[in-house]
Amino acid sequence: MFWVAAVCCVFAELAILRSLLFGRARAAEAKDSMGASRAAHASRPADIAWAVLPALGLALVLYLTWRAVDAPRDPSANVTHGDVTVGA
């Protein structure tokens, strides 16, 4: 389930970046660049940053989750009471 979620996040981020960089809004912006104000041009880097920052956050969560899943379990945490082992 973890890997399915990770792959879905990668595809979603790629779709967001693709639409931001190559979508219809980009073509309309290029067409209207002659009459556009300076504020419209300043929003492109901000849009890219707001698309890339969540991707970096998801990559960090993926790394930390992978590290936690693959971490060796501490065998000293198991407590044995007679025939019952707690913590295994």
Q: List residues bridging with 84 in a β-sheet.
A: 81
By the 8 A CB rule, do 54 and 47 touch? no
For residue 45, give both structure tokens. Answer: 């880097």
Q: Taking the model in full, what pTM does it have? A: 0.54
Q: What pLDDT is recorded for position 34?
A: 58
Map out the domains of the chain as residue ranges.
Answer: 2-71
* pLDDT tens-digit map of 14-72: 888 888 878 766 666 666 665 555 555 557 778 888 888 888 998 898 889 888 887 77
